[in-house]
């Protein structure tokens, strides 16, 4: 059994105006040949899982091409063309493969294409023909389109959020592909698309309604009624003409696949109004922080500007609110602003200057805030994550500086990373527990570390490319009749479609 493997990974935020280019993928990692195999073998990610599953089944791995970038704006279409050109060449050179096993994010839009996931799978199917098994593993936030389903044999997505089963998902997708190749098993995949998006911080797989829904699917697998399932909550900041949230079910009969896909999709749809976070008005949070006598900070979550979610990280909106508040609040603040870092270097530590902070990456989204600031320190931007997630991992925010603006200490940097980790502040001399208010630009990842040191955690209703208040954003491409923008009271979950081979093999 010969299996060709590959990966294409980027989560697009359509509202971030900065195009994700080849340079971003170089930073995230581009691998081919033996380097791809050695890079991913034994790693806790999708390709690590795919490699282990193939090796366990005594298969031979043929390395394809893998490209990864951090979340961000639309991908330059030429990057996808480059990936396809490379992969189609490798497919031509390897005519006798049995399987093509791929790892994707799955919510990727290019400057010319709303459905990179489906387009890549379609190109692969055309290149390998009918008899090669194509599998895709992807993120729970993937946009799984009809094109993707019609061209893949099997698609499996994460079953956890926060995502802790990336390796297992790769392993699941490859294992199902191997069952088809080795045992010639007839397995069927059914897919139900639902015209809905909900904010990413309105649910988790740890507890609550979404957890219960996932449990329902896991029970069906345990009871032997289905082989696999995924409940996709489409990345909500994706403004595309095709797609939505969806449910995929793989089973050994068409009827079982369709029936349970419908059932889970109906349950997801029914809960749509319950997947929304409680958002605070910023001034209410500031009042809470100003009167905070607990000795522990109030955490203001500005998830709208989370670079993890593909936002620009340069929003000074809350900084302005804090500076205009009736009394000073001792605050730790984070801002992507490379220009201000350069200015701080020119002015020098201990000196004062006029800065125009924020809005450097997305001037259409944010206006800079004029401040008088003292330069406290300058840094190379390297730091170690404290964890619990990613403990000991080396990160870099690029050149950085700390400015004092009255009672607010602002960490300015080139590109914020590890936003959920208090060490992002600590390393640069800002100790979060000494502040009345700490600004965290993340969605849910920060909870593990911050919940122990916070007196209260408040998700703020703020503008930005990853705003949880979806109605703040100017969606232009989503299909008509889409939740939460339209009243869909009479909507009923539609009949599932089947993957291409499910149609043929009765």
Q: Which residues bind Zn ion (CB under 5 A)?
A: 139, 141
Helix/strand/coil (H/E/C) assignment for every residue in 58-91: CCEEEEEEEEECCCECCECHHHHHHHHHHHHHHH
**CA 463 to mean position of chain CA atoms:** 19
> Helices marked H in 32-187 — which ranges?
33-40, 46-56, 77-93, 116-128, 146-151, 166-183
The DSSP 8-state label assigned to residue 45 in this structure reads S
- What is the number of the residue whose Cβ is closest to Zn ion? 141
> Helices marked H in 390-472 — which ranges?
423-426, 447-450
Whether 130 and 13 have beta carbons less than 8 Å apart is answered as no
Residue whose CB is less far from Zn ion, 114 or 139? 139
The DSSP 8-state label assigned to residue 405 in this structure reads E
Distance CA 307, CA 416 (A): 7
Residues comprising the chain, all counted? 506
Whether 148 and 176 have beta carbons less than 8 Å apart is answered as no
CB of 140 to Zn ion, least distance (A): 5
Strand partners, 353: 373
Residue whose CB is less far from Zn ion, 98 or 165? 165
Residue whose CB is less far from Zn ion, 141 or 260? 141
Whether 168 and 49 have beta carbons less than 8 Å apart is answered as yes
Strand partners, 135: 101, 154
Residue whose CB is less far from Zn ion, 139 or 386? 139
Helix/strand/coil (H/E/C) assignment for every residue in 224-252: CCCCEEEEECCCCCCCCCCCCEEEEEEEC
Residue whose CB is less far from Zn ion, 141 or 179? 141
CB of 454 to Zn ion, least distance (A): 24
Residue whose CB is less far from Zn ion, 141 or 414? 141
CB of 244 to Zn ion, least distance (A): 16
CB of 107 to Zn ion, least distance (A): 8
Residue whose CB is less far from Zn ion, 108 or 501? 108
Count helices and strands (H / E) in the chain: 15, 20
CB of 235 to Zn ion, least distance (A): 7
CB of 105 to Zn ion, least distance (A): 8
CB of 447 to Zn ion, least distance (A): 16
Name the residue with tokens 């690029």.
398
What distances in angstroms separate CA 38 from CA 32, 90, 145, 451, one per listed residue? Answer: 10, 18, 32, 37
Residue whose CB is less far from Zn ion, 139 or 302? 139
Whether 182 and 57 have beta carbons less than 8 Å apart is answered as yes
What distances in angstroms separate CA 182 from CA 174, 177, 178, 185, one per listed residue? Answer: 12, 9, 6, 8
Name the residue with tokens 């003409």.
241
Residue whose CB is less far from Zn ion, 139 or 228? 139
CB of 139 to Zn ion, least distance (A): 4
Residue whose CB is less far from Zn ion, 141 or 191? 141
The DSSP 8-state label assigned to residue 468 in this structure reads S
CB of 143 to Zn ion, least distance (A): 11
CB of 178 to Zn ion, least distance (A): 26
Residue whose CB is less far from Zn ion, 115 or 139? 139
Provide, for the chain, the percentages of residues in helix, strand and coil under a 3-state DSSP scheme, each rounded to the nearest 5.
35, 25, 45
CB of 335 to Zn ion, least distance (A): 25
Distance CA 428, CA 384 (A): 11
Residue whose CB is less far from Zn ion, 141 or 258? 141
Name the residue with tokens 């990336």.
166
CB of 102 to Zn ion, least distance (A): 17
């Amino acid at each position: 059994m010969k299996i060709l493997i590959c990966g294409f990974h980027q989560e697009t935020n359509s509202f971030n105006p900065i195009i994700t280019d080849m340079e971003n993928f170089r930073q995230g990692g581009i691998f081919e040949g033996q380097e791809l195999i050695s890079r991913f073998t034994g790693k806790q990610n999708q390709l690590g899982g795919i490699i282990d599953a193939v090796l366990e089944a005594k298969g031979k791995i043929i390395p394809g091409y893998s490209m990864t970038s951090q979340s961000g704006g639309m991908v330059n279409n030429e990057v996808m063309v480059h990936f396809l050109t490379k992969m189609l060449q490798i497919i031509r050179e390897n005519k006798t493969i049995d399987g093509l096993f791929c790892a994707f994010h799955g919510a990727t839009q290019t400057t010319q294409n709303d459905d990179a996931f489906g387009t890549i799978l379609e190109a692969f199917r055309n290149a390998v023909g009918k008899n090669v098994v194509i599998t895709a593993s992807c993120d729970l936030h993937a946009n799984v389109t009809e094109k993707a389903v019609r061209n893949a044999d099997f698609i499996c997505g994460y079953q956890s959020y926060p995502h802790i089963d990336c390796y297992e998902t790769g392993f699941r997708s490859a294992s199902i592909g191997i069952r088809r190749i080795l045992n010639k098993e007839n397995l069927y995949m059914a897919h139900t698309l639902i015209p809905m998006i909900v904010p990413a911080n309105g649910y988790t797989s740890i507890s609550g309604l979404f957890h219960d829904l996932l449990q329902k699917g896991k029970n069906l697998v345990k009871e032997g009624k289905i082989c696999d399932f995924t409940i996709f909550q489409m990345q909500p900041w994706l403004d595309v003409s095709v797609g939505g949230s969806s449910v995929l079910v793989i089973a050994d009969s068409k009827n079982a696949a369709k029936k349970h896909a419908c059932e889970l999709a109906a349950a997801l749809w029914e809960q749509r109004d319950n997947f929304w976070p409680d958002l605070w008005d910023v001034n209410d949070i500031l009042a809470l922080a100003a009167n905070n006598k607990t000795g522990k900070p109030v955490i203001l979550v500005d998830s709208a500007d989370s670079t993890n979610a593909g936002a620009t990280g340069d929003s000074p909106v809350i900084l302005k609110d804090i500076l205009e508040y009736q009394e000073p609040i001792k605050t730790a603040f984070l801002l992507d602003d490379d220009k201000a870092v350069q200015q701080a270097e020119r002015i020098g530590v201990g000196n004062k200057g006029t800065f125009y902070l924020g809005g450097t990456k997305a001037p259409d989204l944010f206006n800079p805030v004029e401040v008088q600031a003292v330069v406290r320190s300058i840094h190379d931007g390297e730091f170690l994550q404290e964890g619990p997630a990613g403990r000991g991992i080396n990160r870099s925010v690029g050149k950085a500086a700390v400015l004092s603006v009255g009672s607010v200490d602002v960490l300015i940097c080139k590109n914020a990373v590890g936003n959920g980790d208090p060490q992002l502040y600590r390393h640069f001399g800002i100790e979060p527990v000494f502040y009345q208010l700490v600004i965290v630009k993340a969605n849910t990842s920060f909870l593990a570390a911050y919940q122990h040191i916070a007196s209260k955690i408040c998700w703020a209703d703020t503008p930005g490319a990853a705003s949880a208040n979806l109605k703040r954003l100017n969606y232009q491409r989503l299909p008509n009749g889409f939740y939460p923008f339209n009243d869909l009271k009479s909507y009923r979950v539609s009949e599932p479609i089947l993957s291409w081979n499910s149609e043929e093999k009765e």
